[in-house]
Amino acid sequence: MKQIKIGGLFEASEIALGSWRIAGLEADEAERLLATAVEAGINLFDNADIYGGGAAEEVFGAAVKALGIREKILVQTKCGIRSGYYDFSKEHILNSVDGSLKRLGMDHIDVLLLHRPDTLMEPEEVAEAFDVLHEAGKVRYFGVSNQNPRQMELLQSFIGHKLVTNQLQLSLTNSSMIDTGFNVNMEINPALDRDGGVLEYCRLKGITIQAWSPLQYGVFEGTFIDNEEMFASFNAKLQEFADLKGVEKTAIAFAWILRHPAKIQAIAGTTNPERLSELCKGADVDLNREEWYELYRAAGNKLP
């Protein structure tokens, strides 16, 4: 699988695997999932302190240990979401990372992301927390999730570490960061600027966008794959492309994200090793410009 530069600072596979849904897996199931990921070329794994109430990091960490793959992979986790509020205080960031390291059974995290913007953030405190973590060797790189360009600039102006990623929702059916660019200045819903031009901003600054929920529609509503009730014609088009390229529909959905010249990293969330192998084939699927647009339109998006 192709490696891409993350934030201009280090390389990682263009498809990553997320741990949000793995908390309920048995140890052998988690090991098989991670072994399949590594075999497919995935070397970045996305976690969060809150996934499964902390259980996801434990399941993931135990599988990494059992497989002996810690040196081969990059481990990312997140902090900042608490029960009913967001917390970017120095105290919480430091405590959260210590908790993650303990649950993961690791001595360092490769990338730490701030999970969702905390409007009560004092950027000086975040800067201090990042310095403490970096100097202690607990965290190598820092990034954010679900932030707009102004929020990123505010933070970046205080911290001494380059923000390497912004993790945002992106799929064929959740593509507002792309839609807005097609519909500039028009009085229609897809023209709404929901993120302050984050796609172009990240490209300008060399910050890697990580696409979360690449197979989902809505916010945590379900997948469009095989959803005949809502996405029948879209699934037919995905199948047409899948047959043409000799892969499964999920590989086409991933290829669509990876085709964008912003060099986006797509984070898969399946807990099923066979499905993971299938979608990873999307990294080898070439979509030309016309095909990319055809899929975009088939997902229900209109060009002006």
Ligand X SMILES: NC(=O)c1ccc[n+]([C@@H]2O[C@H](COP(=O)([O-])OP(=O)(O)OC[C@H]3O[C@@H](n4cnc5c(N)ncnc54)[C@H](OP(=O)(O)O)[C@@H]3O)[C@@H](O)[C@H]2O)c1
Binding site for ligand X (CB under 6 A): 18-21, 46, 145-146, 167, 212-216, 223, 225, 250, 267-272, 275, 279
Instruction: Write out the two tokens for 28.
Output: 């052998």
- What amino acid is encoded at 62 in this protein? A
Q: What gap in Å lies between CA 167 and CA 264, rounded to an integer?
A: 10
What is the nearest approach in angstroms of ligand X to the Cβ of residue 76? 8
Q: What gap in Å lies between CA 281 and CA 78, rounded to an integer?
A: 28
Looking at the DSSP bridge assignments, the partners of residue 17 are 45, 268
DSSP state of 264: P
What is the nearest approach in angstroms of ligand X to the Cβ of residue 9? 20
Q: Given the complex with ligand X, which of 70 and 275 has the nearer CB atom?
A: 275
What is the nearest approach in angstroms of ligand X to the Cβ of residue 185? 29
* Catalytic residue flag (residue 201): no
Instruction: Write out the two tokens for 232.
Output: 């029948």
Q: Given the complex with ligand X, which of 101 and 266 has the nearer CB atom?
A: 266
User: Which residue's Cβ lies closest to ligand X?
Assistant: 269
118-122: long-range contacts at Cβ-Cβ below 8 A with a sequence spacing of 24 or more? Answer: 118/80, 118/85, 118/86, 118/87, 118/88, 119/86, 120/86, 120/88, 121/88, 121/155, 122/88, 122/89
Q: Given the complex with ligand X, which of 75 and 129 has the nearer CB atom?
A: 75
What is the nearest approach in angstroms of ligand X to the Cβ of residue 210? 8
Q: Given the complex with ligand X, which of 119 and 288 has the nearer CB atom?
A: 119
Active site residues: 51
